[in-house]
Amino acid sequence: MFEDLENAASSLTWILRLLGFIIGWVAFFLLAGPLEAAADCVPCIGPCLGDSLACVASIVSCLPATACALAVIGIVWLVMRPIMGGLMLAVVCCILCALGGFKIYAQQAGLSTKGGEDGPEPTEYGAFAPLTLHNWPQCHNVPQLCSNSGM
């Protein structure tokens, strides 16, 4: 009788852990929703670009969701099973260090340039500056470019 109750509690615990991870993953993925909507506004290739950004965002959002889920599980297990909880918190620290290292690498590689006296004009987008009236191509008559001339 006690084994059945213990198995049921263990199953419920794993289901709730998995559900919490999925909710966290979806939450981090939805943070990139405005980027997808902005990409959809690009003429001609917007829907394709928006779908591509959604795909990349779903993959990228897995890492912080994993870190958050392991942090919560690790803190609880630190009290119940100190060795397992400590290992999980060590994995969380490694993930956070990897995220911080990637941010430093991206800044040094010029993905987001901070302008200076010698450097380019300050922008947080790097090579991917937003489309404005000043950098819009000369052939911006989109309806004529995208429409079928035979109709």
Q: What is the C-alpha separation between 82 and 20, in angstroms, rounded? A: 22
Q: Considering the chain, what percentage of its residues have pLDDT values greater than 70?
A: 73
Q: What is the C-alpha separation between 46 and 54, in angstroms, rounded? A: 12
- Amino acid residing at 59: I
pLDDT at 10 over 70: yes
**Minimum mean pLDDT range among 46-50, 67-71, 75-79:** 46-50
Its pTM stands at 0.58
Q: What is the average per-residue pLDDT within 66-95?
A: 89
DSSP string, 48-77: HHHHHHHHHHHHHTHHHHHHHHHHHHHHHH
What are the domain boundaries of the chain?
A: 2-112
Query: Distance of CA 16 to CAs 35, 66, 108, Å?
Result: 30, 15, 40
Residue corresponding to tokens 């994993």: 66
**pLDDT single digits (tens) 89-113:** 998 999 889 888 888 988 888 765 4
Q: What is the C-alpha separation between 113 and 116, in angstroms, rounded? A: 9
